[in-house]
Structure 1
Amino acid sequence: MKVTQKKLDDGKISVEAVASTAEVSTALNNAGIMFAQQMGLHPERDKTVAQVCEERMGIKDLDAVVEAQAVEALVPFAVDKTGIIPAYPPQAMPKSPLKRGQTFQFGLVVAPKPNYDLESYESVEITVPELVADDAEVDNQIAQLAERYVEYVTDEPHVVGKGDVCMISLESFMDGEKVPGLTMDGRTYATGAGLMPDGFDENIIGMDVGETKTFTFEGPGLDDEGNEIVEVIECTATVKEIQKQVTPVIDDAWLKKNMPMYADMDALRSSISGTIHRQQMGEYENYKRNLAVTELAKRFKGKIADEVYESMSRNLLNNLRAQVQQQEGMTWEQFVEQQGGEQQFNMMMMMQTRQMLVQGYALDALFTHEGLVVSDEDIMEACTSMNPQNPQGVRRQMEESGRGFALREAAERIRANKWLLEHAKVTIKENQA
C-alpha cells in the first residue's frame, strides 16, 4: 500500500492511500468469508464463498454487500504505514470505486495519540497481601483427578430406572443401513443424562437385565443441503448389566498403575503445588501491576478529547454485548438490569472508560519519560494477554491485518507497567491467622 501524509493546522494528519489490486482482492475475500460465517454458511468443496452465498441466499454480487467491511479492513494498513498510533480509529474517505482488478484510493484524517505528562515520576507505593500456599487447593485437584478416573462396575441387577447406569449392546439401522456410531457390543449408558433423545431413554427405562427390545426413536440430523431434519432410527438394545460408579482412591499403588511418572503421592502433590504456585504467582504479579498503575494514574494531567471517550466507550460496549450474547438464557436488557439499571450501568461504563484511558496514557507518559524500549518478550506478553492459548496466532493475525501499531502500543504499556512495578515501593501485609 502506498501512503503519503501531510500535517494539518490542527495537528491531525491527512493521509492519502492507494491499495494495490492484490490488497483489494484480499480485503474483499476476507470480508466475504466473515459475512458467510455470520450468516451461518459453511464452505463447500469446489465452490467459492460467493457461489455459496448466491446459492443459499440469492446474493448476486457479494463484493457489493461486503464493500463497507472491506474498506474498513484496509484502514489499519494505511495507519500502520504512517508509523502513527491514532488516538481513535479514523474513517476512510473513498476516492475511487472498490473493484476487483483495480487499485483503490482513499483518504484518512488521523488524530495522533496525544502526549501527556504526569505530576510526578517518583516511585509509586503499594501494599499487597502476602501470597500464601493453600494445601486445600492441592486436595481439591487430587479429588478432581479421582473424578476423571471414575470406573463403572457391575451392580445388583434390577429394572432400569431414570438416572441408572447400565451396560447395553446396540444394533441400529436407518433406512435399512446400519448406523456404525449406534452399533456396539457393549456401552456404559446413563439414563436421563441427555446423552440420547428422549425416545431412546423411554424405551431403555423399564427394561430388565438380560432383556432385549427392538424399537424406533427419532433423532436430529442434516440433509444433503445442511438443513436440519428428523431421522427415524430402528434399534435393537439388550441390557447386559446394571452398573455403579466407583471413584478410585488416589494413593501410591494407584499412581504406580495409572500414572507411573510420579514416584509417590509426595511427588504428585509437589507437582500440583508447583503448578498452582506458578499460576498464583502470575495472578499475583498482575494484581501488583494493576495496583501500581492505579497509583500512577492519580498523577495524570490533561484533558482527554470527546472523540477518544466516545471511541473507547463504543469499543467496550461492543465487546460487552458480544460477551453477553454468548451467555445462554440472558438478554442484554436483563444484563443491564442486573447491573442496577440503565442509569447506573451508563455511569459504570463512563467510569471504566475514563479509568482505562487514564491508565493507558499514564503508562505512555512513563514509557516516554524513562526512554524505555520494547522487546520481543513484551510483544509476546501482549499477545498472551489477549489469548493465552495461542499468542503466536494473535501476533500473526494482528500483523497480517495491519494492526501492528495497536500491538506496539500494548507492548509499550506492558513494558512501562513492568518497569513501574520493578521500581515501586511494595509493602507486603502479612495475613492474620
Structure 2
Amino acid sequence: MKANWEKIEKNVGVLDVEIDAEQVAVALDKAFRKVVAKVNVPGFRKGKVPRAIFEARFGVESLYQDAIDILLPQAYSEAVEQAGIEPVDRPDVDVEQFAKGQAFKFKAKVTVKPEVKLGEYKGLEVPAADAEVTEEEIAKELERLQNRHAELVVVDEGPAQQGDTAVIDFEGFQDGVPFEGGKGEMYSLELGSGSFIPGFEEQVVGLNIAEEKDVNVTFPENYHAENLAGKPVVFKVKLHEIKRKNLPALDDEFAKDVSEFDTLEEYKQDLAAKLKERKEKDAESARETAVIDQAAAAAEVDVPEAMVENEIEQMMKDFESRLRMQGMNLDLYYQFSGQSQESLKEQMKVDASKRVRNNLVLEAIANAENLEVSESDVDEELENLSKMYGRSADELRTIFSSNGYLDTLTSDLKVRKAVKFIVENSKTA
C-alpha cells in the first residue's frame, strides 16, 4: 500500500492512497461470496452459482461497492497509521479508481488533531481561596434543610403566594383554538420554580381557590414547536387547591429527626465541619479551573469545528442521560423549557469549544513533560470504577477493551496527570 499525506489547510489534509491489484482481487472474492449467497439464478442452488456465470449474468461491476466496503476501512486505518496522523472526524472519501485487475486508488480529506503551541503553564498564580465557614452560611444551610423537610399543608383560604404549590387545570388557546400539548388537569405547579413559560406562574400568584383566570403569555422565539414560537397565547386556568410549606422549628427535635445528633448545637457543629470540607473541595476545584484556563489562554491552538461538534454531541448524550435519571426525556424538556434542539446545542457550543481547547492544551503539556500513564494507573482507575458500577475490574477491562474505551480511559488519566502537574507547579497570588 502507498499512502501520501498532504496538508491543505491548518488542520485539514488529503490522504492519497493506492492499494495493489492483488488486494483488490481478494476483496472481490469476499464480495462474491457475500453476494452470491443472496442471488437466485435458474439451474443453480442459492450460493452455488459459479463465479464466471455470475459475472457474465450480472457483471463484475455489481461486486465493486461491496468490495470497496470490505477494503476501504482497513486500508484507511493503515494509511492513517502510515502517515502518522490523528483524525478527529470521519473522512470525506473520493474513490478515484476501482476495477478488476487494477489498483484501488482513493483520496480521503481528513480533519486532524491540531498542533498546540504552549505558552506559560508553570508558576501560574491563582488567588487564595477562603475556606472558612460563616454563621450566615450555616443559617442558609439550615434553611435549605428546613425547606427539604417541610410538610405541604393544604391552605383553606387566601390567595396563592410565591413558593406555594398550586393545583390547577389549564388549557392553552392560540387565536381561540386549543393547541396540542397545552392542556393539563389537577397539575401541581410550584409557583416561582420557573418550570412553566415565563410570565405564567406570576399570573397564578394571587388567585383564590376555585377562581378562574385567563393567563396571557408569549412563547419564547426559540420554542421547539414552530407554530407557537414567539406567538401570544391564552391559558384558561382554574385553581383547585393551594399547598403551602410548613417549615419545622429549628430545635433539638429537628436535629434528632434529620441527623444522628441529639441537640441542634451538635448538629450545627457537624454542618460547619461538612461545609468547611465542601468549601475546601470547591477551592481545590476552583484552583484547578483557574490554572487550566490560564494555561489554555497562553497557548496557541486552532480548534477544528468538527471536534467542537463531536463534543456537543457527547454533551447532549450526557444531558439526556441525566434527564432520564430524573424521569424526563429531551422532548419533555423542550416542551417545558421552550428550547429547541438547535438552541440547546448553540447554548452548549461555548462550553464545548472551551472543553476541547483545554483538553488539547493539557495533552500537549503531558507530552511536553513526558507524563506517562502506567498499567498500574489503569488498574487503579478500573478498581475505582468497579466500586461505582458494581462490576469487577477485570470485567470492566474486558468491556472497555471490546468497545475501544480503554484508550479513552488512558487519555483521560494522562490529562488528569497534566492537571495535577500544573496545579502542583502553581503558586498562590
TM-score for both structures, normalised by structure 1: 0.44
TM-score for both structures, normalised by structure 2: 0.45
